[in-house]
């Protein structure tokens, strides 16, 4: 869920950078980003609401062949439980690379690095999306894998319910 959220944020940042037009080819387009949202309590999350705050800057490189590389600078995600006052923060690092179109309506997406890791005192890593993930996606939705090509490192499918006890 965190990886998908980050991928959606990266795609949103990249979409803004595309609007910059040809000037984007000369170097990276810097797209500042800040967002706060509530992750509602529920059976697929935690029994309490979580405040998610994301801030940082996307660096978007648009290439002449149609490929795109998005990296982040000073990018952090903080999840907080307003009831307990506890919070967890992860720094994000690494590129989100979308290939030039594959010719069949798909693109190849490569995500290397730290796309979220939560560590709890006395427990160690309780959620991780770190390492390398490579997949094929529809050109119109690069955040949704159609075919998984490579997955290495820690690729937990969801931070829930693991983060709940650390924030309770």
pLDDT in tens, 4-15: 455 544 544 444
Six token digits for residue 47: 């029994």
Six token digits for residue 129: 């999306």
Q: How confident is the model at residue 28 (pLDDT cuts 50, 70, 90)?
A: very high
Q: How confident is the model at residue 94 (pLDDT cuts 50, 70, 90)?
A: confident
Using CA atoms, how far residue 99 sits from 16, 21, 46, in Å, is 18, 18, 36
CA-atom Rg of the chain in angstroms: 17
User: Any bridge partners for residue 71, and if so which?
Assistant: 59
> Looking at the predicted structure, is the pLDDT value of residue 75 above 70?
yes
- Residue 27 confidence (pLDDT): 83
pLDDT tens, residue by residue, 41-66:
999 999 999 999 999 999 999 999 99
Using CA atoms, how far residue 114 sits from 63, 127, 140, in Å, is 24, 11, 25
User: Any bridge partners for residue 152, and if so which?
Assistant: 132
> Looking at the predicted structure, is the pLDDT value of residue 166 above 80?
yes
Alpha helical stretches, state H, the chain:
2-18, 162-167
User: Any bridge partners for residue 52, and if so which?
Assistant: 37, 79
Q: What is the mean pLDDT of the chain?
A: 88
Q: Name the residue with higher pLDDT: 18 or 40.
A: 40
- Residue 52 confidence (pLDDT): 98
- Residue 16 confidence (pLDDT): 44
Q: How confident is the model at residue 2 (pLDDT cuts 50, 70, 90)?
A: low
């Amino acid at each position: 869920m965190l990886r998908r959220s980050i991928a959606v944020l990266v795609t949103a940042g990249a979409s803004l950078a595309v609007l910059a037009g040809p000037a984007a080819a000369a170097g990276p387009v810097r797209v500042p980003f800040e967002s706060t949202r509530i992750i509602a309590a529920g059976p697929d999350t935690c029994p309490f609401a979580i405040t998610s705050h994301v801030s940082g800057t996307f660096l978007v490189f648009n290439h002449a062949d149609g490929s795109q590389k998005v990296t982040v600078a000073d990018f952090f995600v903080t999840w907080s439980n307003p009831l307990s006052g506890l919070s967890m923060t992860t720094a994000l690092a690494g590129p989100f690379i979308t290939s030039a179109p594959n010719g069949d309506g798909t693109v190849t997406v490569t995500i290397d690095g730290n796309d979220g890791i939560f560590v709890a005192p006395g427990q160690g890593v309780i959620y991780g999306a770190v390492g390398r993930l490579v997949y094929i996606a529809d050109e119109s939705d690069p955040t949704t894998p159609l075919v998984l090509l490579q997955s290495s490192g820690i690729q937990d499918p969801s931070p829930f319910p693991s983060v709940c006890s650390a924030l309770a």
